[in-house]
Amino acid sequence: MTAQLLDGKSLAKTIQAEIAVEVAEFIENNKIVPCLATVLVGADPASEVYIRNKRQACERCGMESRHHSLSAETTEAELLDLVHKLNRDDGVHGILVQLPLPKQIDEQRILTAVNPSKDVDCFHPENVGLLVQGRPRFLPCTPHGVQQLLVRNGIETAGKHVVVVGRSDIVGKPLANMLVQKGTGADATVTVCHSRTRDLAAVTRTAEILVAAIGKPRFITADMVRPGAVVVDVGINRTDAGLCGDVDFAGVAEVASHITPVPGGVGPLTITMLLKNTLSACRQVVLR
């Protein structure tokens, strides 16, 4: 392997230590403990792991988390009731409804019901709008994690051609939006590719920074990567052979200059940015 590893796990540890200091200061000054409410509907094993990791990270940083577990048969009205209750609860500063939701529930209706001031995922239309306008209330966790991974490893984005493969509301679209804004870790020229892109490999080969967020195991192969490119793998796929990303790591690591591992790349930073948003939501309450 010739590429340098972008170690998300150790960076997450560093940033979480910084957040823990800020949380301790905040509690000392304001006598308020930042609190994240997590909501899981059903018992998807992957979602259970994500929620557990998020709650453990809260604890490590000195924040509170309160978990609400609902059955897979929960109706949309019941979930809306819980969201409204959490919106009204002054002891809750951030609300995270784990996705995906069971099919009887309209995800958009739920995400739009979350008080935008507590929307630490940055999924509410008001917060997405503010992000697009370049005056964000919160930054979406996974895109922010990708950006921090680049910035803190000294990888310049200004003027670079970044190709994002994947157009999801959680990663592809918000990441592209962040990277075209003005400022540190942005000012990039961004192309968004997806399943209908013609000659995808020809486009990805023009990327100086290539971000894979498609949800297909080992989809990005070495022939799709420009020699010396920085490759960021957002995918987490469960296969019979274990966890793997959207990038064929072994092959691409021979071509790229930098590459993220899966696990231990973007994932730990997503959680870290959620903690940042929870503290920020709590600060905004104090400042109001």
Pairing verdict, β 94-97 and 189-193: unpaired
- Is 83 a binding residue for ligand GUN by CB under 6 A? The answer is no
Residue 148, classed as helix, strand or coil, is helix
Cβ neighbourhood burial of 42 (10 Å; 0-12, 13-18, 19+): middle
Is 98 an active-site residue?
yes
* Minimal distance, residue 47 CB to ligand GUN, in Å: 7
Binding positions for ligand GUN, 148-187, rule CB under 6 A: 170
Q: How far is the CB of 170 from ligand GUN (least distance, A)?
A: 5
Which of 5, 20, 27, 99 touches ligand GUN by CB under 6 A? 99
The reply on whether position 190 binds ligand GUN by CB under 6 A is no
Shortest distance, position 31 Cβ to ligand GUN, whole Å:
29
The position carrying tokens 């018992």 is: 43
131 touches ligand GUN (CB under 6 A): no
Q: How far apart are CA 67 and CA 61, in angstroms?
A: 17
Do 230 and 150 meet the contact criterion of CB atoms below 8 Å apart?
Answer: yes
Active site residue 121: yes
**117 touches ligand GUN (CB under 6 A):** no
- 214 is a contact residue toward ligand GUN (CB under 6 A): no
Distance CA 93, CA 82 (A): 15
- In the list 98, 204, 272, 278, the residue contacting ligand GUN (rule: CB under 6 A) is 98
Report the distance separating Cα 123 and Cα 113, nearest Å: 11
141 forms part of the interface with ligand GUN (CB under 6 A) = yes
Distance separating alpha carbons of residues 34 and 121, to the nearest angstrom: 16
121 binds ligand GUN (CB under 6 A): yes
Taking Cα atoms as reference points, which of 44, 60, 40, 64 lies closest to residue 281?
A: 64
Type of residue numbered 224: M
Candidates 16, 118, 119, 121; catalytic one:
121
Contact positions vs ligand GUN (CB under 6 A): 96-99, 121, 141-142, 170
Catalytic center residues? 54, 98, 121
